[in-house]
Structure 1
């Protein structure tokens, strides 16, 4: 059995999506594969995870009690087993005790990029286990679940959490000025689960901010010009900077940028979306001077 799920980025609505704001999300051209082989046996699971073709984690486990026989990383193994248990609760027939399973996964991007190594794996695991990816995600993590929805999408979409689930609505986000949009790796991987937990501890509901961010999500997707798009990016940054009590990226690290830049997902690391108003061949020098070497164009990265 072969499975494939896409990576993701959250263009707008970071953090406040957890409180019910409408966000703009995009699936990526890069994702994660999973291959599962089954043979009659004594109920063992052999798991092997690769990143860009290079092995980084293995696990041998007994299916019956989710007992670890051996592993290369006990912390990763415990997280994975937690997800397997969640899938088993949703589908008790998952992981037969008379079958040996051999699972091989491979990421098409580096884990530290924040493109969804966990969410693409959860989406693959949901398909293999015959469970609902959103329900599995909600049992396994404290995130909004937009990322496992993105894993199965082929175009951008609006995402909104509701009391009993979510709403996902396709969005037309393929701007004519997309050759001026870049996705830049800031080089500081953030733990999204920790960021989520920290924000959820805040009791405030942010009703005015949710309304404004929800409106900006649609304005960003529908912006007719780069100038409008940059204005909406800046408005989004102002709101979220106040919510998080954190300086925005432009004032903090990119004051000399002739354009706008906003974080995607957890503030402080991972990727940012940047507009560029200079000659395209000058961007590598500009970013190199910031200590940045990894970046993508819109068409290279976004499935739209």
Structure 2
């Protein structure tokens, strides 16, 4: 019997990195995501095939039930397969019936966005697997990749959200009515560089300082951004956020690094230095970014649910 699951992609508007330490973030589920299709298989094996959004196959392999149970990796060159084995091993711990009660599976994943965009290839997969096996997606994330879990919340929600971790590191998710009049002035620009979340988080922890005093400042900015309907105030708040994070990370802002002459506001989203940035502009900025060598510019209305 065929089963199909779907999860939304994600972008993080505020509190990048700081969300790991309890700051409140605005997170934006995207119109792009990933499908997971399950069919019966055989030979105590999972036959896995992953498609990119252009229908090309970016991963294909067979994974035995035994290798999942024993967490047997396939060698250092098989990075993607080993990551899948890790995820499925943890899923099996949370629900052993999925291997005990099956002869095998044929699994197909299909992205609706280019996988290098950084919109959540891993988080959408984890949430889809959790839906399939009826397990807690946050627990599966923590046991495999780690992270704050905001991406799982985006996978599960069809509106912008406020997201934070409580004192016990449990997720607190609140639906957010975020649809200001100026969304026509917001554009997402792809930087042509896939940033590793794991390495970015490690760098953050190596450099963080004065975190306890910074969290209330980030929370105040998040609250103000969620409430404003004024484009100028929105831009001012984003600039203030960039300056605070630049101080913590000891890194240049994306505008200082790449776009010093841009006549508008630029805000990093998620891991600094990669994936997408948010551009706030009174006029359509496509020509500017294309001239700079960044041809992927997506209006807010085409990106965000």
TM exceeds 0.5? yes
User: Which has the higher mean CA deviation after the structures are superposed, 149-158 or 250-259?
Assistant: 250-259
- Within 5 Å, give how 1:142-221 maps onto structure 2: 142-162=146-166, 163-201=168-206, 204=209, 206-221=211-226
Q: Deviations over 1:259-283 (max 9, x none)?
A: 10011001111100011123x3xx2
Q: Secondary structure at the match of 2:67?
A: coil
- Residue matched to 2:105: 101
The structure in which a higher percent of residues are helix is 2
- Within 5 Å, give how 1:114-153 maps onto structure 2: 114-153=118-157
Aligned residue pair count: 298
1:267 to 266, 272, 286: 272
TM-fit CA distance, 1:42? 2.7
Is residue 91 of structure 1 aligned with residue 95 of structure 2? Answer: yes
Does the CA-based 8 Å contact 2:209-2:248 persist in structure 1?
Answer: no
Is residue 77 of structure 1 aligned with residue 81 of structure 2? Answer: yes
Does the CA-based 8 Å contact 1:263-1:272 persist in structure 2?
Answer: yes
Q: Secondary structure at the match of 1:14?
A: coil
- Give the unaligned 5+ runs of structure 2: none
TM-fit CA distance, 1:203? 6.7
Residues 92/205 of structure 1: CA separation in 2 closer, same or farther (3 Å cut): farther
Does the CA-based 8 Å contact 1:33-1:106 persist in structure 2?
Answer: yes
Q: Secondary structure at the match of 2:33?
A: strand
Name the CA distance, whole Å, in 2 between partners of 1:131 and 1:113. Answer: 27
Does the CA-based 8 Å contact 2:207-2:250 persist in structure 1?
Answer: no
Q: Deviations over 1:124-147 (max 9, x none)?
A: 011112210111111111211110
Residues 236/96 of structure 1: CA separation in 2 closer, same or farther (3 Å cut): same
RMSD: 1.8
Name the CA distance, whole Å, in 1 between partners of 2:165 and 2:149. Answer: 9
Name the CA distance, whole Å, in 2 between partners of 1:150 and 1:80. Answer: 21
User: Which has the higher mean CA deviation after the structures are superposed, 245-254 or 101-110?
Assistant: 245-254
User: Which has the higher mean CA deviation after the structures are superposed, 216-225 or 263-272?
Assistant: 216-225
Does the CA-based 8 Å contact 2:8-2:30 persist in structure 1?
Answer: yes
- Within 5 Å, give how 1:227-246 maps onto structure 2: 227-246=232-251
Name the CA distance, whole Å, in 2 between partners of 1:259 and 1:301. Answer: 20
TM-score by length of 1: 0.93
Name the CA distance, whole Å, in 1 between partners of 2:196 and 2:279. Answer: 22
1:58 to 51, 60, 71: 60
- Residue matched to 1:252: 257
The structure in which a higher percent of residues are strand is 1
- Structure 1 segments of 4+ aligned residues over 3 angstroms from their partners: 67-71, 200-205
Does the CA-based 8 Å contact 2:33-2:111 persist in structure 1?
Answer: yes
Q: Secondary structure at the match of 1:7?
A: strand
Does the CA-based 8 Å contact 1:61-1:70 persist in structure 2?
Answer: no
2:294 to 292, 296, 301: 292
TM-fit CA distance, 1:97? 6.5
- Residue matched to 2:47: 46
TM-score by length of 2: 0.93
- Give the unaligned 5+ runs of structure 1: none
